[in-house]
Amino acid sequence: MTKKELALAVIERLKKAYPDAHCTLAYEDAWQLLISVRLAAQCRDERVDQITPLLYRRFPTVADLAVADPSEIEEIIRPCGLGHSKARDISKCMRVLHETYHDQVPSDFDELLSLPGVGRKSANLIMGDVFGKPAIVTDTHCIRICNLLGLVDHMKEPAKVERALWKIVPPEEGSDLCHRFVQHGREVCIARRPECGRCCLRDLCRHALEEGKHIPS
């Protein structure tokens, strides 16, 4: 089976297993998703979703955050960890959105990458979830599962995994596939304690076969 064939098989099985997979961060506007993704670095999504309503109650618009003192932002987001650097990035990003983009998040990938605190993961998430454009979000679940399945070979760097997946995943499937990787990684293919016996991909998993863990259907 080629990597493209494997990718298509994985896509179809995960579609059946997780038909409603979506971004687990709560947001109403694109700029809020930018903030949530920055806060989610080394922080659980559940914690982020507890903190962002407090932030938006105090600063309800891009313009409000653009003029806010970073220390005020930091005071609210501190429970998400790395408060100082995250507050600095949020402040700078909102200022650029306000001054350059009239409070709107740009739909161009390179322009998104130019925003303070926005990396490829954040930019791809915005492109896929907000603008409905082809996107591949290589988070830790995606990278780990792709290596286990053999979709990529011993790749750990997000950008390299992303480039490799672009070659084998249909563009229209990338965004949803990555959300399904997240859900599968949290519910079944759990790091260090995978539940291989109930995995819908177990007969495709290179790791399971190599380790003799394959359990027939």
Which residues belong to the active site? 121, 139
Residue 98: partners with Cβ closer than 8 Å, 6 or more residues away = 62, 63, 66
